[in-house]
Amino acid sequence: MNNNKFVGKVGVGEILTYVVLILVLVFTVMPLLFMVTAAFMDAKQIMAMPYSWIPSKEYFTTESRTFFTNFQKAIVGNHNDHIFFRNLWNSLIVAFTCALTTVLLASLCGYGLAKFNFKGKTVVFMAIMSTMMIPFEAIMIPLYLVASKLKIINTIPGLIIPFLVSAFGVFQMRQYLITFPSEYLDAARVDGLTEFGIYARIVLPNSTPVIATLGILSFRNQWDNLLWPLLCSQAEKMKTIPLYISKFAEEKQTDEGALMACALLASIPMFILFFSLSKYFLGGAAVYESRKG
Amino acid sequence: MKKKLTPYSIEKKQVRWGFLFTVPCLVFFAVFSFYPIISAFLTSLTNRDAIRRTYDFIGFQNYTYLFTQSNGGFSLLNSLKATAIFTVGTFVPMVVVSLILAVLIMQLRKPGHSKMFELAYYTPAVLSSVVAATIWMILFQPTGLFNQISNFVMHTSGKDYQWLTNNSMLRASTIIVYFWKYIGYFTILFITGLASIPPTIYEAAIVDGSSRWHTFWKITLPLLKPTVVLVSIMAMLQCLKTFSTQYMFVQGGTAREPIDVITMNIYYTGVVNRRLGRSSAMSIILFLIMLCFTYLQFSTQKGGDDVEY
C-alpha cells in the first residue's frame, strides 16, 4: 500500500501492519463464519439484507427445529437414501489409503534413488520426474479406459489405484534422504540388518517429519479430488464427499441452509485433522522449500 | 548433490536392492502415467468416440478442427482465453499479495500473533474446492453477503454487482474463490523462504544504516528471488489445471462460456459428449502447455541455485 510499513516510526508501522493483516484475516475467515452460521438458518434469513450472522432464536425452538432439519436434509440426501455417511466413509478410506501408500512407495523409491548407485539411476529418476508434467486432466480418459479394462470402475480400489504414489512424493523423499548420513546405514549393515530391514527400521523411523507432511498432502489432495470420482464412481454408494456435495448443491440450490449444513458436516474431518496437526500442515511448505537445498 | 558411495565387497548385491526399491514406483508410473499419455496422443489422431466400436486414423484433423471450428459453441480458443484470463488474473495477485502478507507477518514481534494469522489464512486451504465454491456461490447471490460488503466498500447502496450473471464478473468471481482458498498456502511458502534468510544479513544492514524499506528491496527481495520464481510457476501450473470451481459454478447454473477453462472443455467434450478423439487432442494441447511451463521452472531453478547466503 505505501512505504510506511517499512520506514515509518515503529509505532505507526506496526499499527498499519496489524490493520492490513486483520483486514485480510476478515476476508479469509468471513466465508467460513458464514458457512457455520448459515448452517443453522433457513433460506429466508440467509438471503435477508443485511446478513444477521446470528441464527434467530426461533430456529432452535422445538417447533421449527431449523438447525436440526438443515443437518437432517444434508444427511438424508437427494433420494432419501442416507448415503452421506457411506460417501464420507468412502472419502476417508480413499484419502487415508492413498496417504499411506504414497508414503510407503515414495519413501522406498526415494531411498533407492538417494542412497544406491545402480545403472540407469539417472534415467529412472528423470523418468519419474517427467510424470510431474503430465496433468491428471490430460490422462483421465485413457485412465478411465484402463480402469474399465481392469474392472475397477465403481469400486473403492478404482478410486485409489491411480493415486497410489505421486512423483512429487518420490522427489521429496529423495531430497530428504540424500542428506541422511550414510554412516548410519553402513553401521546397520555391519550389524547385519538386511537392506529392507535398514529401510524399515532405520530410514522410515528417521523421516517422520517429511512422512507426516507428505501423508497429509496426499490425504488432502484425495479429499479434494472431484474429477476422478466424477468419472469413476457412477453408483451413488460409491461416490465420495466432493461428488456428494456437488450433486446435493445441484438439487438444493435454493435451500442454502441445508447446503451449508452439508458443507459444514463434510468439512469437519478436515478441520479436526488441521487443528490437531497444524504443525505439519504449515510445515508442508518447509519441506517443499527444502528441495532447493 | 550426488554423493559417491563408498565401495563394498557386497556392492553388487546392494545395487540390486537399490533398483528393486524403485521398481514398484516405476511400474506404477508406467501404467498410470506413461501409458495413458501415449494412449491419449494416439487417440487424438483418431475419430474415436465412446459409442461406436470402430474408429479410423484421421491424422491431425482433430487438431485442425479444434483450432478452426467452434466445437459445438465451446471452442478451444475460447477455452484457452478463459484459462489464460483465469491463470494470469489469479496467480499475479496471489503471488504479490502473499509475498506482502508474508513480509508483514515476519515483522510481527509476538510469535503468538504470527501463528494466529498463519492459521487463519491457511484454514480455507483445507476445505475442499467443492465446499469453497458452494459457500461462495451463496455469497455471490444478488442479495448475498458479498454484494452487501461490496456496497459497503464501494459506497453504493443496493447495487447488484452481478457476480454470477455478468460475464466478466463471473470470471472475477472464480478468481476470488481461488484466491481466497490458496492465499494462505502461498503466504506460508513465502514465510518459509523468508525464514531461511539468515538474520545476520539483516543485522549487518541495520549496522550499515539501511532503512527497512531499503532493506526489503535491496536484500530481502533479491535473496527471495528463487522462491518467488518457484512459487509463481507453481501457482501458474496449478491455475492452468483448475477444474472444480468452474465445474461447481456451471452446475450451479452460471454461464459456461466465460469460465469454460480447458480442463472443463476436456471433461465436457470427452465425458459428456463422448468425443474421445477430440478431447484427447485437447488433453495433449494442455500437456504441451504444461510442458513449456515446467521446462521454464527447471531452467529458472538452475539459475536460482546461484543465490548463496
The ipTM is: 0.86
Number of Cβ within a 10 Å radius of residue A79: 10
Q: Is residue B249 part of a domain?
A: yes
Note the pLDDT of residue B307. 52
Note the pLDDT of residue A161. 92
- CB spacing of B17 vs A196 below 8 angstroms: yes
Domains plus CATH for chain A? 4-76 (no CATH), 84-292 (1.10.3720.10)
- B105 contacts on A by Cβ (under 8 Å): 21
| Residue B46 bridge partners (DSSP) | B57
The three cell numbers locating residue B231:
512459487
Q: Could you read off the pLDDT of B117-142 as tens digits, one per residue?
A: 999 999 999 999 999 999 999 899 88
Nearest to A142 among B36, B271, B301 (CB): B36
pLDDT classification of A63: cutoffs 50, 70, 90: low
- B36 contacts on A by Cβ (under 8 Å): 134, 139, 142-143, 146
Question: Looking at residues B273-292, what average pLDDT do you find?
Answer: 90
Note the pLDDT of residue B25. 93
| Residue B57 bridge partners (DSSP) | B46
pLDDT classification of A23: cutoffs 50, 70, 90: very high
Domain total in chain B: 1
Nearest to A108 among B14, B21, B138 (CB): B21
Q: Mean of the per-residue pLDDT values for chain A?
A: 84
Q: Is residue B211 part of a domain?
A: yes
Note the pLDDT of residue A255. 84
Is the minimum CB–CB distance between B118 and chain A shorter than 8 Å?
yes
In chain B, pLDDT over 90 holds for what percent of residues? 37
Q: Could you read off the pLDDT of B262-272 as tens digits, one per residue?
A: 999 999 988 88
Q: Is residue B212 part of a domain?
A: yes
Interface of B with A in 32-61 (CB under 8 A): 32-37, 39-40, 43
Q: Is residue B73 part of a domain?
A: yes
Question: Looking at residues B54-79, what average pLDDT do you find?
Answer: 83
Q: Is residue B17 part of a domain?
A: no
Question: Looking at residues B207-216, what average pLDDT do you find?
Answer: 81
- Nearest-CA distance from A177 to chain B in Å? 12
Asked if the model's pLDDT at residue A160 lies above 80, the reply is: yes
In chain A, pLDDT over 90 holds for what percent of residues? 34
The three cell numbers locating residue B251:
452446475
- B193 contacts on A by Cβ (under 8 Å): 289
CA distance B253 to A18: 39
In chain A, pLDDT over 70 holds for what percent of residues? 89
- B39 contacts on A by Cβ (under 8 Å): 142, 145
- A284 contacts on B by Cβ (under 8 Å): 188
Q: Is residue B50 part of a domain?
A: no
- CB spacing of B137 vs A249 below 8 angstroms: yes
Question: Looking at residues A260-275, what average pLDDT do you find?
Answer: 91
Task: Give the residue with greater pLDDT, B192 vs A160.
Answer: A160
| B139: closest chain A residue by CA | A31
Query: How far, rounded to the nearest angstrom, does the alpha carbon of residue B193 sit from its chain's CA centroid?
Result: 19
Question: Looking at residues A259-270, what average pLDDT do you find?
Answer: 91
Query: Any idea what the CATH number is for the domain that residue B133 is in?
Result: 1.10.3720.10
pLDDT classification of A137: cutoffs 50, 70, 90: confident
Interface of B with A in 207-246 (CB under 8 A): 211-213, 215-216, 226-227, 230, 240-241, 243-244
Asked if the model's pLDDT at residue B82 lies above 80, the reply is: yes
Q: Could you read off the pLDDT of B137-160 as tens digits, one per residue?
A: 989 988 888 888 888 888 877 778
Q: Mean of the per-residue pLDDT values for chain B?
A: 85
Asked if the model's pLDDT at residue B53 lies above 80, the reply is: no
- CB spacing of B22 vs A113 below 8 angstroms: yes
Note the pLDDT of residue B173. 94
In chain B, pLDDT over 70 holds for what percent of residues? 92
Interface probe for B, chosen from A4, A98, A139 (most Cβ of B below 10 Å), is A139
Nearest to B22 among A124, A220, A289 (CB): A124
Interface probe for B, chosen from A3, A4, A6, A287 (most Cβ of B below 10 Å), is A6
pLDDT classification of B2: cutoffs 50, 70, 90: low
Note the pLDDT of residue A50. 76
CA distance B280 to B286: 10
Nearest-5° Cα angle at B60, B55 to B66: 95
Asked if the model's pLDDT at residue A64 lies above 70, the reply is: no
pLDDT classification of A281: cutoffs 50, 70, 90: confident
Handedness of CA A106, A108, A114, A117 (dihedral sign): negative
Lowest mean pLDDT among A81-90, A109-118, A178-187, B198-207: B198-207
- CB spacing of B18 vs A115 below 8 angstroms: yes
Q: Is residue B21 part of a domain?
A: no
Task: Give the residue with greater pLDDT, A219 vs B216.
Answer: A219
Question: Looking at residues B188-217, what average pLDDT do you find?
Answer: 83
Q: Is residue B135 part of a domain?
A: yes
Boundaries of domain holding B154: 38-45+58-304
Lowest mean pLDDT among A66-80, A212-226, B3-17, B198-212: B3-17
- Nearest-CA distance from B64 to chain A in Å? 19
The three cell numbers locating residue B240:
492452468
Asked if the model's pLDDT at residue A120 lies above 50, the reply is: yes
Question: Looking at residues B254-259, what average pLDDT do you find?
Answer: 89
| B106: closest chain A residue by CA | A17
Number of Cβ within a 10 Å radius of residue A145: 15
Note the pLDDT of residue B262. 92
Phi, psi values for residue B46, rounded to 5°: -120, 170
- A139 contacts on B by Cβ (under 8 Å): 33, 36-37, 40, 283
